[in-house]
Amino acid sequence: MIFTLLISCIPVLTSPEDSAGPSSCWMEVENSWSSATPRDLVGQGFSVGQTPPDMCMLDQHGDQVSLWQFYGQVIVLDVSAEWCAPCQELAEGVDHTWQEFKDQGFMYLTLLTEDNNSNIPNLEILQEWAEEYEITAPVLSDSEGYKVQMIPTGAYPRVILIDRNMNIKIDTINPATDEVIREAVIDAL
């Protein structure tokens, strides 16, 4: 138990009654990130083999981003919190990993679910996170409340690997280290 606490952060849990829950939002979005039109996707959940629901999220540039716009790419979805020390450590390698594989059809998404006060991160927090860790890949806010589905118990960070067909290949990369994430990405590419 102590070992787990040293390598992960325990989240502040939100019950389903505290949130109306996210809604699917697939829509064409205008932003500077690559975009593809998803093919007859139906959001199912966050377990291996399932298609995650589309998520509309604010990025560090103030643009709306859709998860499904990255259809056809291998995606790492890093679900983190600003206050989480292991999340901060993981953030240090994000851009290096993204830069190395992005030309091979890879996208690294950091989804911040909470700021230091356990609130939903605003644009300023996203920009500070991207700047502090020199991340040029999307840094996104969980303004729709996906945390309830992705971190119902467990701990931060949760790193999910999604294949080119928008199916979850690995529902929790463990341990969530840059080295293990890179190995999973290489295998998926």
Domains of the chain: 2-188 (3.40.30.10)
pLDDT, position 154: 60
pLDDT of residue 125: 97
Question: What value does the mean pLDDT take over residues 16-45?
Answer: 64
Q: Residue 17 has what pLDDT?
A: 33
Nearest to 92 by CA among 73, 116, 107, 108: 108
Answer whether the bond into residue 157 is a cis peptide, omega within 30°.
Answer: yes
Check whether 27 has a pLDDT greater than 70.
Answer: no
How many angstroms separate the CA atoms of 170 and 158, rounded? 11
Q: Read off the pLDDT of each residue in 119-125 and give the average, rounded to a whole number.
A: 96
**CA torsion sign, 15 to 109 to 41 to 168?**
negative
Cβ contacts of 37 within 8 Å, gap of 6 or more: 28, 71
Report the pLDDT averaged over residues 113-133.
Answer: 96
Mean pLDDT of the chain: 84
